[in-house]
Amino acid sequence: MNTSNGIDYSFLLEVDNNPIIVFNYEGKILYLNSSAEILMSYVKPKEIFKLAVNNAPSVYGTKTTQIELSYNQLKFYAVNVSYNSDDWIAIRLYYRPRDKRINKKSSHKGEILTDINLLLDVAITQFKIGSSTDIRLVTDQDIPKTLLNQNSFSKLLRKCLNSFKVASFVDIELKLGIGEHIIIDEQRYPLIILKFISNGRHCNEDSEIKLLSEEMFLVSNLNENSIEIEIPLINK
């Protein structure tokens, strides 16, 4: 643990929304945070290493370059490359804040103000019954309540978690998406982001996860080892 004054900086890197990857001089990954793990399911490390080298400062230090990048649904507007040794080079990619539009037609069937942390807690407790998968949860307990259909959302949580039954661990992260918004019926709402990252997953119920998300006007990104759900924060 890299600590100074009792602060765990590696934790801060780990939970950063933006992908951070550190390579050695040969392009071998020395470190990547959880957000970078998702990125790596869309792009080869070699390509990101090349991007880092091409945008590196000419001398030891750091350099930010505005650049439009797109890897599947992941969009970035800038990269920051840093190094102070010939042994390693780090790159951080900045997510482009998204403006998504959904026409919800004011349908709020069964939606009530909900503390997502509570539902997540129950879903995890239930998942742990008869499962040896190790669950590590990083959550923002202060996320405001949002309008949700609790029954459908709980079903979605169960199905997401069940897809990780084969995995030895699941890292779950729940936080507010900084600078990310969604437009529903011409109204702009911040996003709550729920991520599940693991080392293996059953994908046979993905169509049901997609369908449930769509029914609730949520955006789901499903990958080989991860699931990301974007939930609009609506509390009015």
The answer to whether 130 contacts other proteins (rule: CB under 8 A) is: yes
Rounded to 10 degrees, what is the CA torsion of 29, 227, 14, 165? -90
Q: Which is nearer to other proteins, 87 or 121 (CB)?
A: 121
The residue from 33, 34, 82, 154 that contacts other proteins (CB under 8 A) is 154
Instruction: Report yes or no: 159 and 151 within 8 Å, Cβ to Cβ.
Output: no
- Give me the least distance between CB of 161 and other proteins, in Å please: 11
Q: Which token pair is 233?
A: 């924060």
Q: How far apart are CA 216 and CA 125, in angstroms?
A: 23
Applying CB under 8 A, which part among 48-56, 75-83, 96-104, 105-113 lies near other proteins?
A: 105-113
The answer to whether 100 contacts other proteins (rule: CB under 8 A) is: no
Applying CB under 8 A, which part among 37-45, 57-65, 75-83, 123-131 lies near other proteins?
A: 123-131
Secondary element (H or E) of residue 12: helix 9-14
The answer to whether 122 contacts other proteins (rule: CB under 8 A) is: yes
Rounded to 10 degrees, what is the CA torsion of 221, 121, 144, 225? -20
Q: Which is nearer to other proteins, 149 or 198 (CB)?
A: 149
Q: How far apart are CA 157 and CA 209, in angstroms?
A: 9
Residue 134 neighbours by CB under 8 Å, 6+ apart: 168, 169, 170
- Give me the least distance between CB of 164 and other proteins, in Å please: 16
- Give me the least distance between CB of 131 and other proteins, in Å please: 10
The residue from 80, 117, 126, 225 that contacts other proteins (CB under 8 A) is 126
Q: Which is nearer to other proteins, 7 or 118 (CB)?
A: 118
Q: How far apart are CA 78 and CA 95, in angstroms?
A: 8
Residue among 59, 49, 44, 47 at smallest CA distance from 90 = 49
The residue from 59, 68, 106, 129 that contacts other proteins (CB under 8 A) is 129
- Give me the least distance between CB of 103 and other proteins, in Å please: 22
**What's the number of CA atoms in the CB half-sphere (13 Å) around residue 131?**
21
Q: How far apart are CA 123 and CA 145, in angstroms?
A: 17
- Give me the least distance between CB of 234 and other proteins, in Å please: 16
The residue from 1, 6, 106, 109 that contacts other proteins (CB under 8 A) is 109
What single-letter DSSP state applies at residue 103? -
Residues that bind other proteins (CB under 8 A): 109-110, 112, 118-119, 121-123, 125-126, 128-130, 149-152, 154-155, 158, 208
